[in-house]
Structure 1
């Protein structure tokens, strides 16, 4: 397989081309070498940034994989379903996201107050710890917006257990640098490594595993052997699965797309000429500065979607412009704003703030839940393997 081209172009055409290029290797070839973190990342799909922003949907990738490999692609299909599982699990337990954000605020306050912690954190973020492999991954992530999934696990384990840094700071480092950074996948993966997701289970990075799966490039020394779980609170009781809203077909309607769903299709009651707007919340992924590569990917994805829908000049708003968004819709006589359902994260929070602003102007916000999410999220009740049995018969 050829090397992964970085940075990835943020277009629907690039997403489908990448999928077509990868599909012949989505079966046994992927299963055999997916764990190898090698230069150029030749053994992974490179689809995560597209799926995260739904320039390519999970359903499309799953259906295409099953057509190409009716049997033998379970490992790749499982990777696709993991993202859906994380989203569904967090959607039913939003307090976990709130606790992460609160923990991050407290950790950043400590960074400001404690010089020693600040120095350790800065060394970890800039790749100056002296730990073989870890420093390379920190710099690779900042420079490319990408990190191999196995390297993410090693990195998180070293951050938590060897460097003894607050896990929330590490999760934030990923979320502000990863182009495919997703609130659910990122937060819950870091919690899983630290023993906060599956009680009693942690992930320990080992020199042998790192050396074996990096072609011998890295073999760090001095890694923690004591990887006991971080102190945890019981998981909150799951809330009901969201149902989404129903469109009122006779109401003058506009469509609001956002960085959690740029596909712009899958909603048959919305004709292509429906007035289009965009909401971006990239800067809200972190209290700190978000990597320009992340912002550039979202910007390009928005522009591509606007062109594909035949509205290249569609207005774009950030969270700071929600009032202006409402005013523009009211001036156009819009009475219903349809938008793809945004799972837990900055976009969902912005939509939550937008809804009453629209209501004050006589406009209804209709959050439309995709069939893929509506059918799979109810099964995100326990661990992934129970979920997989339900969605991957």
Structure 2
């Protein structure tokens, strides 16, 4: 399997289509591609694909491509009109692929988005048409160590002032009050956006007073020692490791970390929504996760692929997928059901209603602006620039 994956990675377009049912007649095989690399994720995705394939009457062949290779592969295949029948891609990349003209409009194919969160529908929309839909999404919330908070006589923070005070009070010895990822990649932007958007900032003006306020919060936490200076090199997995080791009393992270936290003996933790600047504000988090897309081929294959997507988006399958992947269902009723059955996910369910699609403001320009934003975070926290100067430079780089 490794050899096959390597061959596909090298030839790129050569592994995008299938001979099974390639004509306009009967279709018995569809191809699917995604970047999930771990064994549990592969097993989970193959499971739901098998179920929905059987329901539709096709075999769905699953192919995993390393994350950094998936978009180049898809864009090359789009130019050759040889996209796979089904692809699961990171939602901020949807518009870039849709702009090639290689994707089927799910709106025109009759796929209903009734019952789905509007913010999730917008994440898969390009020029007024739905080209991708997420079966489930993830986001960010504040994890806290209940024992550390109890020992300090504190309650989990709900505002930025409380967050700053609690993080300072909980910092002692090698333990920091809070950990987050400020790494110079999309992860850094993703982690910062809850604070950026909740402050009232928008991606069209990276140097606004609201944006400066959000970056000042992060700089204060680092300057006061409440957060480690190493946050500029920590991924979200590194942040989770710090929390697991007891080196951080709080962390900003997502529901995909819950299985590793639950496996830690003696770890007593809770999860609350991201703190807000003022009591009247509501947290605005970025939508994480992937969307299902259908590549153009012929009417028979497209119809079968759309039918598989409809199955994957059904409330039962969405709930199954979300439980397996650590996501929140896109279907509002299924999400509410999950939040009631699993209190640890209640904060994430609450946040989905006000979450933002990362491409909603800028469309295909998002990646460039995100790069400027995480570079500004790095310049401020590691390079010594003021929040205002770093964000003004970012605005200039983004050219927006």
- Do both proteins adopt the same fold according to a TM-score greater than 0.5, normalized to the shorter chain? no
**Higher RCO, 1 or 2 (CA under 8 Å, sep at least 6)?**
2
Higher strand share goes to which structure? 2
